[in-house]
Structure 1
Amino acid sequence: MPWIELSLTLHADQQERIESALNELGALSVTLLDAEDHPIFEPMPGETPVWPTIKLAALFDIVCDRVGLVHVLTDLVPEIAPDQLQFRDVPDEDWTRAWMDTFQPMQFGRRLWIYPWNIEPPDDAADAVIVRLDPGLAFGTGTHPTTALCLEWLDGVDLNGKTVVDYGCGSGVLAIAALKLGAARVIGVDLDPQALESSRDNAERNGVVDALELMLPADYTAVPQDILVANILAGPLDELAPLFAASIKPGHPFALSGILAGQDVELLRRYSEWFTDLDVAQREDWVRISGCRR
């Protein structure tokens, strides 16, 4: 059935009261979006940060009394003016199908493909390396430039029989790709227990879970391995440089991403203490740093 969407722009300190009032009035769902350009990167587990200015959208039953809804909401939250509130009709739609239709197979490098579960690879894709992911995953499917940069790098590295460290494994897409590209073992590390569960679930779906060892950072001990990839953020990458240096064998490769263009300058200086042949690749506003352990 169709719905009514009520939307307004508000400040972060108003969000909790307005959302609570909308729920009291029978909102079927409440969605928060960034009203300006204040990206939030990798909140800590349990954190629910919001943007300074928020666009809120609430769905109501199509038979809802719009005039009455405005009257009661402005009574409950007096700082809301009626002219702040906008309504639109939202037609009925299969939202899962709509999302799945936007998530199409993607190629990274020469061999590697990410396929959603709802699309079968063609018969002539026998030589392709295919990772299957649930279309319900919003991040870690390869659509973000940082993930794409790392997937392309993995496709170009000799992984056969190697042990790979995936630090900040998230959905597990990089770990799974590494295993499907020939790695013998991957150590996946993430500070979010839910991310570890997601990695495990996706690895099971791809038939590689037995070769994937998952752990929290507190349980990770740096032992020199063949390859390291880390798709996190510039701040943690700076702090973790000594740990990463202790996690890679001399002469072996690594790649870092989650780095905004411009942040690479300081990271290149930082990592040059332990790494050589440093190279920068860029996609949109994001960069990847790669090189070898001295």
Structure 2
Amino acid sequence: MSWQELRIETDSRHAEALSDALFDLGALSVSIEDATAGTAEEKPIFGEPGEPLEQLWEKSIVVALLEDGAAPEFLVAAAANAVGIANPLYVVQIVEEQDWVRLTQSQFDPIHISDRLWITPTWHESPDPRAINIVLDPGLAFGTGSHPTTRLCLRWLDNNIQQGETVLDYGCGSGILAIAAQKLGAGETHGVDIDAQAMVASRQNAEQNNVQISFYLPDAAPQRQYDVVIANILTNPLKTLAPLLAGRVRAGGHIALSGILVEQTEEIIAIYGVWFNFLPASADDGWVCLSGTRKAD
């Protein structure tokens, strides 16, 4: 069995409407890509959890997957007419059936975090059986160790977690940071996320790694303080959550914050500096991790 992949050039003003029109006309799936990806003009865009992107790429490509017998020229003409554009440029290519599971797995190799810490998918042998290996597959929630912010937080935990410390992973996603904390010697560890899917993923991943962690939606989370609070989310949620997260750290305890772009560093330090004394930021590929010690009340 094969499919057709239709790629239509458009702009940010029409990309979403064109996507909706293609869905209405029977496309199996539709996505929007940056037409300048991989060039000097490539421009990253970021959205906050639960909020739509404020903009798309000015030069966009709408990618639609069609059944083998579909007529792409008709779909392009009908979709373009529906959104009020004329004769958009497009290409069509055949997508052959593949072993999609094997293909997906081939894209995820073990990730080397530090001298003693690896992230290893279940279909791989551990590169270093003597190391601390977190067994984790791509799944329902964010956090496989491949993103710079996750790596920054994992390295911070590797360098700083002390035996028996209590830990809160706020915005836990896949649970990777809470799992790492446990494997690195933490004591009681909790994870919190707003996404119910994250609860499912985190609990499955903790069980797979033979660690005991309690995961909560925010309203059900314990109202208590911890030795360590780590939050790998984005800047706007970090700003909103500052009083809550600060209140979860005991005096003399530590906080680690990531999901912060380099240019946002000073803004976050200014907000959290009311409660914490910060060390110099750690950076990776344009992102930073900030860590600080809670001041005495």
For the superposition of Structure 1 and Structure 2, which TM-score range results when normalised by the shorter chain? Answer: 0.7 to 0.9
- Residue identity in the other structure for 1:250: A
Aligned residue for 1:56, secondary structure, equals strand
Q: CA deviation at 1:190?
A: 1.3
Q: Is 1:236 aligned to residue 237 of structure 2? A: yes
Structure 1 pair 183/175, CA: closer, same or farther in 2 (3 Å)? same
Aligned residue for 1:250, secondary structure, equals strand
**C-alpha contact 1:99 1:135 (8 A) present in aligned 2:** no
- The equivalences for 1:1-294 within 5 A come to 1-10=1-10, 14=14, 17-35=17-35, 37=43, 39-44=45-50, 49=53, 51-53=55-57, 54-74=60-80, 77=82, 79-122=84-127, 125=129, 127-136=130-139, 139-208=142-211, 211-294=212-295
**C-alpha contact 2:19 2:31 (8 A) present in aligned 1:** no
Distance 1:252 1:33 in 2: 43
- Residue identity in the other structure for 2:287: W
**C-alpha contact 1:159 1:178 (8 A) present in aligned 2:** no
Q: CA deviation at 1:129?
A: 1.0
Q: CA deviation at 1:164?
A: 0.2
Identity among equivalent positions (%) equals 43
User: What is the RMSD computed on CA atoms of the aligned residues?
Assistant: 2.6
Q: CA deviation at 1:17?
A: 5.0
- Residue identity in the other structure for 1:52: L
Gaps of 5+ in 1: none
The TM-score normalised by the length of structure 1 is 0.86
The TM-score normalised by the length of structure 2 is 0.85
Structure 1 pair 4/278, CA: closer, same or farther in 2 (3 Å)? same
Residues 220-254 of structure 1, C-alpha deviations (whole Å, 9 max, x = no match): 35422111111112222233333223222222222
Q: CA deviation at 1:265?
A: 0.8
Q: CA deviation at 1:19?
A: 3.5
Q: CA deviation at 1:119?
A: 0.7
Aligned residue for 2:206, secondary structure, equals helix
Gaps of 5+ in 2: 36-41
Aligned residue for 2:263, secondary structure, equals coil
